[in-house]
């Protein structure tokens, strides 16, 4: 009964909605309450006078906090409704700049779950669900789900990168249709087939530019071969095999070694590289170079059945820099492609990176991020040349 009476007292003192004057708004704008210190841990039994006094002071402090009128400008936040079926938030009212958030479809603006939660934490969005305003605690369960999934990891990475100053958008894989293929794509694909023993994708073979480019490259190849044959035939001259039969006297004079390096190289029979290796600067450079841990990514020949990229290495986000004029309507190529690894997943090997490069899944340098159990984020940047 005491608990019910206490709750009813708190309900009665809650302020009602009212319009405040300018002086009252200024007075309540920066109202701070210092929380009473608990002090040392109590060792007495429950129900003592000292314990009852501390409880009364804590209740009085809580009443004082709840009795202060809450000042809030509803126009300072955007309004959105959560669609559980599509897992997106439909924005009904925008406030502020939204050029880096959401996507438009049929004249409406929608926010992904990670964008909605991020704007909620910043206080820029009021999210409603079946007519009720969703708090941040409720939004974690509603937007990310009650069960463990990749949504929570994706949101941690999205929030960290957004707060670091990057523009984070959903990754859009490059279109691989015959209509989107250019002559340059066909040329590079044919060169990779001839030089790197890589098979031609089907969207390249079905492109209207492919037969034209293939014939042009074959014609150029025949032209180069025919020119080499003509040059070899034109340089053939008759060689006079008659030699002077007179004996020549050997020169007994000692040849002094010239001081000039160029003359020295021309008479000693040694190459310039051999002489450079004997210098002190080269020895120091070789000593420093050996300390670097450099592993060369060797090119491998994959068949169609061998280039399956692990499902954990899917690209989730694209990163853009703020100072490069990002426009959602006509975005430029991203600066980085983000791969978020599942929990306990190892970082990709050179073989995995080769498969990603072979399939041209990335549109920029790869930023591979792993989130540990303690929510610590580790990232490695892979430069693919």
pTM of the model: 0.56
For residues 41 and 102, membership in a common domain is answered with no
Q: Give the model's confidence band at 367: pLDDT under 50 very low, under 70 low, under 90 confident, else very high.
A: very high
Q: Express as a percent the part of the chain with pLDDT over 70.
A: 67
For residues 78 and 143, membership in a common domain is answered with yes
- The domain in which residue 330 lies consists of 311-382
Q: Is the pLDDT of residue 3 over 50?
A: no
Q: Assess if residue 53 is contained within a domain.
A: yes
What's the CATH code of the domain at 84?
Answer: 3.40.1170.20
User: Comparing C-alpha atoms, which of 122, 121, 103 is closest to residue 112?
Assistant: 103
Q: What is the pLDDT of residues 166-223, one digit of tens each?
A: 999 998 876 666 667 788 888 888 887 777 666 677 778 888 888 888 888 888 888 8
Q: Assess if residue 169 is contained within a domain.
A: no
Q: Coil, helix or strand for 340?
A: strand
Cα gap 214→226, rounded to integer Å: 18
Q: Assess if residue 275 is contained within a domain.
A: no
For residues 7 and 57, membership in a common domain is answered with yes
> What sign does the dihedral 161-166-170-176 (CA atoms) show?
negative
Q: Beta-carbon neighbour count of residue 319 at 10 Å? A: 20
Q: Coil, helix or strand for 330?
A: coil
Cα gap 182→361, rounded to integer Å: 18
For the chain, where are the E strands, in sequence order? 78-83, 88-93, 103-105, 108-111, 125-129, 132-133, 167-170, 315-320, 336-341, 365-371, 377-382
For residues 27 and 81, membership in a common domain is answered with no
Domain tally, the chain? 4
* Contacts for 63 with CB less than 8 Å, ≥ 6 apart: 9, 10, 13
Predicted pLDDT at 238: 56
Q: Assess if residue 293 is contained within a domain.
A: no
Q: Assess if residue 270 is contained within a domain.
A: no
Q: What is the pLDDT of residues 48-79, one digit of tens each?
A: 888 888 888 888 888 887 777 666 555 578 89
Cα gap 215→186, rounded to integer Å: 12
Q: Which residue has the higher pLDDT, 224 or 44?
A: 224
Domain boundary among 157, 192, 225: 225
For residues 84 and 131, membership in a common domain is answered with yes
Q: What is the pLDDT of residues 92-132, one digit of tens each?
A: 988 878 888 988 888 899 999 999 999 999 888 999 999 89
Q: What is the pLDDT of residues 248-265, one digit of tens each?
A: 666 665 555 555 555 555
For residues 139 and 203, membership in a common domain is answered with no
What's the CATH code of the domain at 347?
Answer: 3.40.1350.150
Q: What is the DSSP string of 111-128?
A: E-HHHHHHHHHHT-EEEE
Q: Assess if residue 279 is contained within a domain.
A: no
Q: Assess if residue 88 is contained within a domain.
A: yes
Contact present, 213 and 186 (Cβ < 8 Å): yes
Q: Assess if residue 94 is contained within a domain.
A: yes
For residues 317 and 373, membership in a common domain is answered with yes
Q: Is the pLDDT of residue 151 over 50?
A: yes
Cα gap 59→329, rounded to integer Å: 54
Cα gap 280→262, rounded to integer Å: 19
Q: Beta-carbon neighbour count of residue 146 at 10 Å? A: 8
For residues 324 and 342, membership in a common domain is answered with yes
């Amino acid at each position: 009964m005491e608990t019910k009476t206490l709750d009813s007292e708190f309900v009665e003192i809650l302020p009602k909605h009212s319009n405040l004057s300018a002086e009252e708004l200024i007075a309540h704008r920066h109202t701070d309450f210092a929380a009473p210190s608990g002090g040392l841990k109590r060792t007495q039994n429950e129900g003592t006078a000292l314990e009852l006094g501390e409880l009364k002071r804590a209740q009085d402090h809580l009443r004082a906090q709840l009795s202060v009128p809450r000042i809030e400008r509803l126009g300072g936040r955007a309004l959105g409704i959560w669609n559980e079926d599509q897992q997106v938030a439909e924005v009904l009212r925008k406030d502020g700049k939204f050029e880096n958030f959401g996507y438009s479809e049929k004249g409406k603006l929608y926010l992904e779950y990670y964008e909605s939660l991020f704007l909620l934490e910043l206080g820029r969005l009021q999210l409603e669900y079946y007519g009720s305003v969703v708090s941040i605690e409720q939004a974690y369960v509603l937007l990310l789900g009650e069960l463990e999934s990749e949504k929570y990891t994706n949101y941690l990475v999205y929030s960290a990168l957004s707060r670091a100053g990057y523009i984070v958008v959903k990754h859009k894989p490059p279109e691989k249709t015959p209509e989107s293929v250019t002559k340059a794509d066909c040329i590079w694909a044919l060169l990779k087939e001839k030089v790197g023993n890589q098979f031609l994708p089907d969207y390249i073979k079905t492109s209207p530019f492919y037969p034209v480019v293939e014939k042009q490259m074959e014609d150029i190849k025949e032209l180069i071969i025919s020119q080499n044959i003509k040059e070899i035939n034109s340089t053939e001259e008759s060689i006079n095999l008659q030699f002077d039969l007179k004996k020549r006297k050997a020169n007994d004079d000692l040849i002094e070694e010239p001081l000039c390096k160029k003359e020295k190289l021309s008479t000693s029979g040694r190459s310039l590289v051999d002489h450079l290796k004997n210098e002190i600067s080269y020895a120091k450079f070789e000593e420093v170079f050996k300390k670097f841990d450099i592993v060369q990514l060797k090119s491998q020949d994959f068949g169609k059945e061998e280039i399956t990229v692990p499902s954990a290495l899917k690209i989730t986000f694209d990163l853009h820099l703020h100072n490069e004029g990002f426009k959602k309507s006509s975005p430029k190529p991203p600066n980085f492609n983000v791969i978020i690894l599942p929990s306990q997943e190892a970082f990709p090997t050179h073989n995995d990176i080769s498969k990603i490069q072979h399939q041209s899944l990335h549109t920029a340098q790869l930023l591979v991020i792993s989130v540990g159990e303690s929510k610590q984020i580790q990232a490695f940047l892979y430069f693919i040349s």
